[in-house]
Structure 1
Amino acid sequence: MAIGAPLNSPDATDAPQGGYGDKVLAVEPGGNEAIPVDARHGTPRGLFWTWTAPNLEFATIFVGVISILYFGLSFWQAVAAMAIGNLLGAAAHFLLSAEGPLHGVPQMVLGRLAFGYRGNILPATFMAVMCGVGWFATNSVSGAFALSTLFGITPLLGLVVIVVAQTAFAFFGHNLVQRFERIAAPVLAVIFVVGAVIIFGKSHVSTPSADGGFSIGGFLLTMGAAFGYTAGWTPYAADYTRYLPPTVSKVKTGLFASSGLFLSCTFLMVVGAASVTIGDPVSDNPTEAFTANLPSLVADLTLLAIAVGAVAANAINVYSGSMAFLAMGFRLPVGLQRALVTVFFGVVGFLVAWWALADAAASYEAFLLLVAYWIGPWLGVVFADRLLRREPPTLALLYDTRYANWGGVAAFVLGLVASVLLFCNQERFVGYVVRAVPELGDIGAFVGFALAFGLYLILARGRVAQSQRTPS
């Protein structure tokens, strides 16, 4: 089959970017088209702030909290597990971020190489629902609790304030989101560093684990949760590097993006773990329990930072969720495709967050691992495709509705299903292997990656070679 001009698809080179450039207070036009070279702007160093700010929030802290409170590790065991999980997630983010300037398209559009135009609807749906809506709801809840504690309002009112703010940033689009992250990151960092100094001064990091020894199951659960959090950003990676000029350094692009991600995640996760060693929680409200360890002024500033951090995270979540939705092939008015979908995700995310207010802690623990289950095999397929593909793809291939790669879909589905059935460790379902060997904890994401990677090399090798031989 010849790969010619896309059928029933927008011209990949006809993105409506005229006049947008580097304007901040302007609604980003269009949807998931390629960014023309003359509309590119920015430098790689700005990515450090882009990926620092959204992780300076309570959802990051809570990964450290559950590592000790729920998974039974000691402080230093938790630190090691979280650092490994974060490093693996940041390494994946490095590789995917570095590709953005070369292609100029969103991450989920690049995913069509490994899954085909129609097959890519499956992972794009996972991302749109679990990341664009799920993460949106999760972070909104923490921000709502922070505002509730700070101002004495109901969590629902706090939720409304948070959702309106973050949806507004995402509605305007790429440039305003990037600028907000750059301004928010240093301010949030200073506040959390001050809080961290106080928490470490009160903590008892030498306290042994719950059972007095080392739990490999708890270690792997923590590593998987940390990986799920950090790697949860990887399906967004190219969304925030595609506006960079194609001549920028790939190494610098990947390094600034991944270092901001790794440092912010590891820092706040460690702070969260340290906070648990101070004593038993004083409240069922997780943000109130955390800030109860701080002096009143610092506690108030930290609560405000938690709310702002939730907005920083969700401006990215809802923006990229809308990009994934458009990558599924939906057609909306050309000039406002992404902006309209952003509003839709804001409404849906609000409803899900409202439902989750009742039991935030349990919902978050399960959600972290659920994200990791699909991210693992998705990364396996994407990286296997990059290994096999010797030449950069043409834009025509990325937007060709006729291009199929069902080997990628099969590898993803088989890797996902097998890893969950065998190695899942959730309250409502425990995988068959984990039932027999409980000390495995939860390695579903890593098994899913390995299975999908190997299966893709077997099932899709011929299809990748064919797509590169066919002229575009």
Structure 2
Amino acid sequence: MDTLPKSAVEGHSIDFIPESERTDKLSSQGPFWFLGNFTFFTMTIGFVGPSVGLSALWTILAGTLGIMFGTLFMAFHGSQGPHLGLPQMIQSRAQFGYRGVILALLATLFVFAGFNIVNMVLMMQGLKELFGFNPLVVALAVTVPATVLAILGHDWMHRSFKWALFLSIPLYGLVTLAVMMNWVPDAPMPLLAAGEATPAPLGFNWTGFITQFAAAASYNIAYAPYVSDYSRYLPKNTHSGKLIAVVFLGASLSGAWMIAVGAWLADHLHASNVLVALSQVGNTVSPLMGIVVVGVTILVFLPVIAMNIYSAKLTTLTCVDSIKHIEPTRRARILAIAFVILLQLGVSLSLQGSDKGLSVLGIYLVVMLYFLVPWTAVNLTDYFFVRKGRYAIPHFFTPHDSLYGSWGMRGLASYAIGFVAMIPFFYIFDGVAQKEVYVGPLAKALGNIDIAWLVGLIVSGLVYYWLSRSIDLKNEEAVIQRIELTHPHFTTGDKAAMPLAPLSGITNFGR
């Protein structure tokens, strides 16, 4: 932000970013989202397949296809940031209403906070097992620097991601090389308790394949509420097709890489905690290298923890503002961050003593997908096919007499109908305990294959498109044009740069 010194705390939160402050470059987005998935936590997504009977090879295939599928939705959401200059969930007021968006906000807050809770539990358990570290000390050592980054804001987040990328590429390059060169011997099968049956050898099964696909897809679909938070500082005439491609390549390549490494660790080392497995890989080079691998792994993950805190803060402020209008001051940002930190610390410390971390992870990823799929379907349908990128930006901040109303019944109904339609297709399986948590009747009829996410995407998107036929788009366009005449800085970007015109049959996003 060229109007502020580089050392300054970010001045914006849930408000509109003026064009004069949009100093980001398109080239920064690829590395940013590459690092977002280039972490030890992404490796744990590769643990899901072996836990449900898949070999490393089939896990890698299912995980790669899933991460690419989920990244499509994430990347399309990213194009909204420079076009509108808004955080993602503020824009959702157009579909759900000024107050009705709270439903979507609670789902996304669950995702942002949940990611950090699972991350911290894995770190506390891993460092306690490896070095005997006190879990509270670990939690504070991770949370404090990440909180500082989140308070400093957008520019410092991008800088920290750049430096973390420089550290993580040689680190995970070494780990990958050790795996590919077979430097790490396979671990023996764990001893079985008396009367416990010998597990079947890992191979292929459709239930496991779809479960791994869904876990990987949910991982990047979960980024959908984040992306505009970090692309809104791009100039409004940024070419959306190029932005979509850059975000897609960055997030999918690193995600597929880390899932592949995780699949090998789970298959060959029977790993249940990724930090312990990485230490084991490092120790094959030298005993000191195991410590270095774990230390750098934690260090480069701090910006990702900060990213979750930052977006959870935006979601918390949007939620409060949807109930009672607030000014998005620095003080409000810090108070929202304090709320998020207390929530995360309290829950993670209460869970860290459990030995069911991997079970919680697998279930969490699936449930997260269920909550986010109807929202992403409604949001993208509105942006690309109903309103086609044309929004009255000041009305996102108007509690009363807003063009989009207090309760967006079309969006809320579409979300609810899509979610209810998914329930019979739910298949929630605990791969660690090898037991079914919940199986919907239609999932059982399909042989325990989970296609709930696909049902939710189709149903919510189609219902919203059908209900939106009653929207008075001509009146909305007249309001938008008046705003653009009187407040030209509120224009919704360069229409020529809007995405997917050839693919969607849309030749002009203006009406």
Q: Give, in whole Å, the separation in 2 of the partners of 1:256 and 1:469.
A: 31
In the other structure, the counterpart of 2:398 is: 400
In the other structure, the counterpart of 1:144 is: 124
The residue type paired with residue 26 of structure 1 is: A
In the TM superposition, residue 77 of structure 1 has moved relative to its aligned partner by: 1.4
In the other structure, the counterpart of 2:153 is: 173
Q: Give, in whole Å, the separation in 2 of the partners of 1:250 and 1:27.
A: 29
Q: Give the counterpart of 1:356 among 339, 342, 351.
A: 351
- Percent of residue pairs bearing the same amino acid type: 24
Structure-to-structure mapping, 1:402-417, within 5 angstroms: 402=402, 403-404=404-405, 405-417=408-420
Q: Give, in whole Å, the separation in 2 of the partners of 1:467 and 1:422.
A: 40
Shift in alpha-carbon separation, 1:316–1:126, aligned structure 2, 3 A = same
Q: Verify: 1:221 aligned to 2:224, yes or no.
A: no
Ranges in structure 1 where 5+ consecutive residues have no aligned partner: 1-16
Q: Give, in whole Å, the separation in 2 of the partners of 1:325 and 1:49.
A: 27
Is the 8 Å Cα contact of residues 380 and 453 (structure 1) preserved in structure 2?
Answer: yes
Q: Give, in whole Å, the separation in 1 of the partners of 2:7 and 2:112.
A: 23
The residue type paired with residue 444 of structure 1 is: A
Q: Give the counterpart of 1:367 among 364, 375, 386.
A: 364
In the other structure, the counterpart of 2:281 is: 293
* CA deviations over 1:365-401 (Å, ceiling 9, x no partner): 1111111111211111112112122352121232233
In the other structure, the counterpart of 2:236 is: 246
Say which one has the larger Rg: 2
Shift in alpha-carbon separation, 1:335–1:19, aligned structure 2, 3 A = farther
Q: Give, in whole Å, the separation in 1 of the partners of 2:472 and 2:94.
A: 8
Give the number of equivalent residue pairs.
Answer: 446
* CA deviations over 1:323-378 (Å, ceiling 9, x no partner): 11222243455422223211210111111111221232111111111111112111
- Of stretches 86-95 and 290-299 in structure 1, the one that deviates more from structure 2 is 290-299
CA RMSD of aligned residues (A): 2.3
Is the 8 Å Cα contact of residues 121 and 357 (structure 2) preserved in structure 1?
Answer: yes
The DSSP-based 3-state class of the residue aligned with 1:31 is coil
The residue type paired with residue 335 of structure 1 is: T
Is the 8 Å Cα contact of residues 269 and 277 (structure 2) preserved in structure 1?
Answer: no
In the other structure, the counterpart of 1:155 is: 135
In the other structure, the counterpart of 1:113 is: 94
Name the TM-score, length of structure 1 as normaliser: 0.88
The DSSP-based 3-state class of the residue aligned with 1:411 is helix
Q: Give the counterpart of 1:230 among 220, 227, 230.
A: 220
Q: Give, in whole Å, the separation in 1 of the partners of 2:33 and 2:479.
A: 38
Q: Give, in whole Å, the separation in 2 of the partners of 1:425 and 1:148.
A: 29
Q: Verify: 1:381 aligned to 2:378, yes or no.
A: yes
Name the TM-score, length of structure 2 as normaliser: 0.82
The DSSP-based 3-state class of the residue aligned with 1:326 is helix
In the other structure, the counterpart of 1:316 is: 307
In the other structure, the counterpart of 2:438 is: 429
Structure-to-structure mapping, 1:318-337, within 5 angstroms: 318-330=309-321, 331-332=325-326, 334-336=328-330, 337=332
- Of stretches 235-244 and 140-149 in structure 1, the one that deviates more from structure 2 is 140-149
- Of stretches 149-158 and 400-409 in structure 1, the one that deviates more from structure 2 is 149-158
The DSSP-based 3-state class of the residue aligned with 2:204 is coil
Is the 8 Å Cα contact of residues 71 and 252 (structure 2) preserved in structure 1?
Answer: yes
Q: Verify: 1:44 aligned to 2:39, yes or no.
A: no
In the other structure, the counterpart of 2:498 is: none
In the other structure, the counterpart of 1:131 is: 111
Shift in alpha-carbon separation, 1:210–1:454, aligned structure 2, 3 A = farther
Q: Give the counterpart of 1:346 among 341, 345, 354.
A: 341
The residue type paired with residue 15 of structure 2 is: E
Shift in alpha-carbon separation, 1:213–1:266, aligned structure 2, 3 A = closer
Q: Verify: 1:257 aligned to 2:238, yes or no.
A: no
The residue type paired with residue 325 of structure 1 is: T
In the other structure, the counterpart of 1:461 is: 469
Q: Give, in whole Å, the separation in 1 of the partners of 2:254 and 2:45.
A: 13
The residue type paired with residue 364 of structure 2 is: F
In the TM superposition, residue 146 of structure 1 has moved relative to its aligned partner by: 4.7
Structure-to-structure mapping, 1:22-41, within 5 angstroms: 23-41=5-23
Is the 8 Å Cα contact of residues 363 and 428 (structure 2) preserved in structure 1?
Answer: no
In the TM superposition, residue 83 of structure 1 has moved relative to its aligned partner by: 1.1
Q: Give the counterpart of 1:443 among 433, 451, 472.
A: 451
Is the 8 Å Cα contact of residues 74 and 210 (structure 1) preserved in structure 2?
Answer: no
In the other structure, the counterpart of 2:190 is: none
Q: Give the counterpart of 1:100 among 81, 97, 110.
A: 81
The DSSP-based 3-state class of the residue aligned with 1:33 is coil
Q: Give, in whole Å, the separation in 1 of the partners of 2:418 and 2:126.
A: 38
* CA deviations over 1:63-105 (Å, ceiling 9, x no partner): 112211x121122211111111111121112211122111100
Shift in alpha-carbon separation, 1:24–1:268, aligned structure 2, 3 A = farther
Q: Give, in whole Å, the separation in 2 of the partners of 1:391 and 1:320.
A: 23
Ranges in structure 2 where 5+ consecutive residues have no aligned partner: 187-198, 430-435, 481-511
Is the 8 Å Cα contact of residues 67 and 256 (structure 2) preserved in structure 1?
Answer: yes
The DSSP-based 3-state class of the residue aligned with 1:277 is helix
In the TM superposition, residue 251 of structure 1 has moved relative to its aligned partner by: 2.6
* CA deviations over 1:131-159 (Å, ceiling 9, x no partner): 22111211222333454456541233211
- Of stretches 356-365 and 145-154 in structure 1, the one that deviates more from structure 2 is 145-154
Q: Give, in whole Å, the separation in 1 of the partners of 2:185 and 2:112.
A: 37
In the other structure, the counterpart of 2:60 is: 79
Is the 8 Å Cα contact of residues 107 and 237 (structure 1) preserved in structure 2?
Answer: yes
Is the 8 Å Cα contact of residues 204 and 274 (structure 1) preserved in structure 2?
Answer: no
The residue type paired with residue 184 of structure 1 is: A
Q: Give, in whole Å, the separation in 2 of the partners of 1:143 and 1:24.
A: 32
* CA deviations over 1:402-437 (Å, ceiling 9, x no partner): 323311111111111221343332443221212333
Q: Give, in whole Å, the separation in 2 of the partners of 1:116 and 1:290.
A: 46
